[in-house]
Chain A
């Protein structure tokens, strides 16, 4: 048999049929839903008088709208409460599992899927959320979908999708100190651009990716969509298998060993065909910070902000727009940019290893005066683990607020928002205009450790100076 990539293997296994127009009807092995993009889908289903076809293959959580202060019901925001109730009713009526707040299993959909073991190698995964690419860290083909497609999955457990092209991205060598998975994906997006991945799936490989923990790989795959790629994945290996062993939703005993053997065979064959290949050197990657209004507009913390003329002609209007919005000066250093808010959390960087790294920095000082700093764990399980390790105390002593789990200030659908033109050092994934809840708010994306360093300094700082 011809050499195949993981994408080939997973795609073929889940192909229900191929349509004449080039689209594939793909079976969705795991469907994740949340309160924002699903209520309309259930309503459409009802209008069509169709039942949920495979209720056991859908899992629900609540994350976007949940407050991180008090989660007492009814929620203070009546609109949020209405969405929460709609999700509860839809799940109850259709026999769909809901990871309820307080159950110990609630959290951001892309944090709980992996940590509970719902996410497994070789699956196709869909969710009405663009950061579904996160789950590719396990060697799954995981894509974000819109609400009409959520309806399709509820009704048929399938989506229509054209097979993407495949780009292999190898990050070789090793990373320097203070440089994290977040910096790796920011460097990849800086190199390939925010539209470079449109039509592609990204396969991440090379020494640096091989050496990463599962949580680090989740961070990398999470931001595939910021590169324009609807999905990104890492081939399953021993790290993957070790992470999954013993997780709640994973087979046990002999069944696990059988599954693990299958998982390892899913990895791309050495002779697999790629539509494109790119190589980066880990040693060239520095702790990074975004300076503009899309995640590709980022640079090493020790660099100067690029001049407009350094960009190709057709990109210059976007660069000028970014500088206009951000109020930053080309040629100036990014280090030293004062911040008003520090946010640690999100589906990109709200896991236990992220909080540990941030706490390591936070314990060296206290939050600068005038800076509002919050830590929002990605899930109840992450919060529990952090509590066992005493992390909330470390953060509180340094002057950070320790909150309840949710998406929080990544997209500010709950009460956590920037005000006015505040600058936020953020471990989240998007620095779009207005993303963090203030129409004029400004986001500086960076790793959790860099956010902690910025919180203490009151300004962007090279984390390598404090580690």
Chain B
């Protein structure tokens, strides 16, 4: 089993904008590798280069931030796991946002990184609050499905399967899948084409 993840506590970093795709999170040229080891250094590299120091990840307050607060459809596009790997290796342990692309969310779950959603109004309040006071500690609690910060305590949404896997520590799916044992072969033998 993997480690159960009940709560993520840490400072936040706000990255505004909808539909931020995985090409932006990690440009394709950094996918030329056979391990994930070095991908963290290149997170949002092109966006940061173009922002000339103004990118949220380049602010002093982003140093050591552990919860990335994002807009809607975060992580859309390519299935590259390099994207959550890069953000994880930069120190992020959870994502809170308007919504998440499906493959990105699955990849995050497989790495033990919760993705939680907030209603639009709540998300705006949390973003404003974190930007105004980046030193505050955010607490994402999976059991109560809440996000606590100085602006208040907000209900978050989570995909039920992902939440359970994280809470139970069964997010390393290989072990769970292996538990099916011979039922896998039995299913295969019923398929006309296998």
Q: Which residues of A contact B (CB under 8 A)?
A: 13-17, 19-23, 25, 27, 29, 36-37, 39-40, 43, 48, 50, 53-54, 57, 64-65, 77, 79-80, 82-83, 86, 120, 122-123, 128-130, 132, 144-149, 151-152, 155-162, 194-195, 198-199, 225, 228, 230, 259, 262, 293-294, 314-315, 317-318, 321, 411-413, 430, 432-435, 437, 439-440
Contacts and interface: CB of A to CB of B under 8 A. Distances in A.
Contacts of B107: 146-149
| Nearest 7 Cβ contacts at the A-B interface | A148-B110, A21-B164, A146-B107, A439-B46, A146-B81, A23-B161, A79-B32
B134 to A, nearest CB: 21
A161 B161 CA distance: 9
Interface stretch (B53-61, B147-155, B186-194): B186-194
B27 to A, nearest CB: 6
B3 to A, nearest CB: 15
Contact of A148 (B16, B31, B111, B188): B111
B184 A27 contact: yes
Contacts of A147: 36, 81, 107
A16 B187 contact: yes
A159 B47 CA distance: 33
A335 to B, nearest CB: 26
A13 B192 CA distance: 10
Nearest to B186: A16
A120 B50 contact: no
A120 B46 contact: no
B173 interface: yes
B17 interface: yes
Contact of A22 (B34, B161, B187): B161
Contacts of B133: none
B79 A146 contact: yes
Given A17-B183, A155-B174, A230-B102, A83 B32 contact: yes
29 contacts: A15-B187, A16-B183, A17-B183, A23-B161, A25-B176, A27-B191, A36-B31, A36-B80, A37-B81, A39-B35, A40-B34, A40-B81, A43-B34, A54-B188, A79-B32, A123-B193, A130-B78, A152-B174, A152-B177, A155-B177, A156-B177, A225-B103, A294-B76, A317-B18, A432-B21, A433-B46, A435-B23, A437-B29, A439-B50
Interface residues of B, number: 59
A298 to B, nearest CB: 14
Contacts of B15: none
B128 to A, nearest CB: 15
A294 B72 CA distance: 13
B106 to A, nearest CB: 6
Contacts of B35: 39-40, 43
B143 interface: no
Contacts of A156: 174, 177-178, 180, 184
Contacts of B135: none
A130 B81 contact: no
Contact of A29 (B78, B99, B191): B191
A194 B77 CA distance: 10
A198 B73 contact: yes
A411 B29 CA distance: 9
Given A148-B81, A318-B17, A434 B23 contact: yes
B33 interface: yes
A339 to B, nearest CB: 21
Contact of B160 (A14, A21, A43, A433): A21
Contacts of A159: 173, 177
A27 B185 CA distance: 9
Contacts of B110: 146, 148-149
B76 A160 contact: no
Contacts of B161: 19, 21-23, 160, 162
Interface string B118-142: 0010000000000000000000000
A25 B59 CA distance: 43
B1 interface: no
Given A23-B161, A155-B177, A194-B73, A146 B23 contact: no
B191 A13 contact: yes
